[in-house]
């Protein structure tokens, strides 16, 4: 869930954004990127009930909604046609798979609910309810829909084969699972650890194929690049993600670079492009203005060596990274209020998308082509990204 910042009148915001170094670039007539004009296209917009969570399947076949009154609903993503819904669901999180097609409902970081419920995504039938050995700390679904992995606070990794009758095997980790991410090609799962810190790679049989040790006082959260060749690991000290360090690793466990943000930075969200040509990170920066500490939301681009190329955002333009563009020509960011921006790699905003209200939650397909988002005025929309 995203927190709504203070609002500013649109003309004043635009002026201050430019003053802060954000250049709104207007392409020349007929100018395209790779033959396609970058930007946003609305696929559909529909009213929705208040939501607790949402997801879109990795290949964009279905959308899952988890409402605040305990209902799960599955929609066909291309048409927004409701497929089925059920009340009485216990959980605050939802995930979707393609392939055979499952919807998973669970309750992250809740030691009183250690269950994952498997729904048939096509019919709504409850296929299974699995109780794990501890609170659920992370879940990731493979791009193909053949596997789902879930990690717990009891040093366990469960890897499920998503057949008609799901089966699993359990792996004992060397620490608490702080986060995990499937490689898009399905060849491994990157697992970030806490209290025996680092990142470990496992194949879908549970075999460890690489291990990256870390500082035992830190948490690690991994993000696999879309070509599956690199893992971006976010290392931080506590739940506020303070004193963060980003490190880019190859799939064999060798390090490419590290970048530290400093003591007064928290809330980092970061993604890296194919081949690691650039990395985008958004974060909160604590600064002193008129003898008062202020938190500014900023965004920076790191080059292929991990060096900062530029920063944008600040007090009057509170930017949060949403995703990279589908062709890696730039990225999408949210201003914390009523606008999405499509930036190029140089930090120029080349397209905006106005919103009717602040965003409450979003989810993106693995190829970054589709973005589903829910706003605080209970509107649900699907955007195609270019």
261 vs 35, residue with greater confidence: 261
Percent of the chain with pLDDT over 90: 79
Distance CA 301, CA 315 (A): 18
Is residue 362 within 8 Å of 372, Cβ to Cβ?
Answer: yes
19 vs 111, residue with greater confidence: 111
Place 238 in a pLDDT band, splitting at 50, 70 and 90.
low
Most confident of 15-29, 32-46, 287-301: 287-301
Sorted by where each starts, the structural domains of the chain and their CATH numbers stand as 49-286+357-385 (2.130.10.10)
6 vs 239, residue with greater confidence: 239
Q: C-alpha distances in angstroms, 40 versus 10, 152, 340?
A: 20, 37, 9
pLDDT tens, residue by residue, 223-237: 999 999 999 999 988
Predicted local confidence at residue 289, as pLDDT: 75
Mean pLDDT value across residues 364-381: 97
Predicted local confidence at residue 293, as pLDDT: 80
pLDDT higher than 80, residue 32:
no
Mean pLDDT value across residues 289-316: 90
Q: What angle do CA 48, 76, 363 make, to 5 degrees?
A: 65
pLDDT higher than 90, residue 263:
no
Mean pLDDT value across residues 152-161: 97
Q: What angle do CA 146, 149, 155 make, to 5 degrees?
A: 155
CA-CA-CA-CA dihedral for 25, 27, 28, 29, to nearest 10: -140
29 vs 318, residue with greater confidence: 318
Mean pLDDT value across residues 202-209: 96
254 vs 290, residue with greater confidence: 254
Mean pLDDT value across residues 203-214: 93
Mean pLDDT value across residues 294-314: 94
Predicted local confidence at residue 1, as pLDDT: 33
State the alpha helices, DSSP H only, in the chain: 10-19
Please give the mean pLDDT across all residues of the chain.
89
Within a 13 Å sphere around the CA of 303, how many CA atoms are in the beta-carbon half?
6
């Amino acid at each position: 869930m995203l927190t709504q910042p203070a609002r500013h009148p649109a003309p004043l915001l635009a002026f201050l954004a430019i003053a802060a170094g954000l250049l709104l670039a207007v392409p020349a007539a007929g100018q395209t990127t790779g033959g396609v004009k970058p930007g946003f296209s609305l696929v559909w917009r529909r009213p929705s009930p208040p939501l607790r969570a949402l997801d879109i399947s990795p290949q964009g076949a279905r959308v899952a909604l988890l409402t605040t009154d305990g209902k799960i609903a599955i929609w066909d993503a291309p048409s927004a046609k409701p497929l089925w819904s059920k009340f009485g669901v216990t959980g605050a999180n939802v995930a979707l798979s393609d392939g055979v097609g499952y919807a998973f409902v669970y309750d992250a970081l809740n030691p009183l609910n250690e269950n994952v419920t498997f729904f048939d995504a096509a019919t709504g039938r409850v296929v299974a309810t699995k109780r794990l050995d501890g609170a659920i700390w992370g879940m990731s679904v493979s791009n193909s829909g053949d596997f789902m992995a879930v990690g717990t606070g009891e040093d366990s990794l469960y890897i499920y084969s998503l057949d008609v009758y799901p089966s699993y095997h359990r792996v004992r980790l060397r620490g608490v699972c702080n986060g995990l991410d499937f490689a898009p090609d399905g060849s491994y799962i990157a697992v970030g650890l806490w209290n025996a810190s680092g990142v470990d790679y496992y194949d879908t049989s549970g075999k460890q194929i690489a291990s990256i040790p870390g500082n035992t006082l830190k948490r690690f959260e991994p993000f696999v690049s879309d070509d599956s060749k690199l893992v971006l690991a976010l290392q931080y000290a506590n739940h506020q993600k303070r004193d963060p360090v980003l490190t880019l690793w190859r799939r064999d466990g060798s390090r490419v670079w590290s970048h530290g943000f400093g003591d007064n930075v928290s809330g980092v969200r970061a993604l890296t492009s194919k081949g690691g040509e650039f990395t985008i990170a958004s974060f909160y920066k604590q600064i002193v203005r008129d003898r008062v500490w202020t938190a500014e939301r900023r965004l920076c681009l790191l080059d292929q060596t991990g060096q900062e190329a530029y920063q944008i955002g600040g007090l009057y333009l509170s930017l949060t990274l949403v995703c990279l563009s589908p062709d890696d020509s730039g990225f999408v960011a949210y201003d914390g209020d009523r606008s999405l921006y499509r930036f190029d790699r140089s930090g120029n905003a080349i397209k905006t998308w106005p919103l009717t209200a602040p965003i409450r939650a979003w989810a993106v397909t693995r190829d970054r082509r589709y973005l589903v988002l829910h706003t605080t005025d209970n509107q649900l929309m699907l955007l195609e990204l270019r």
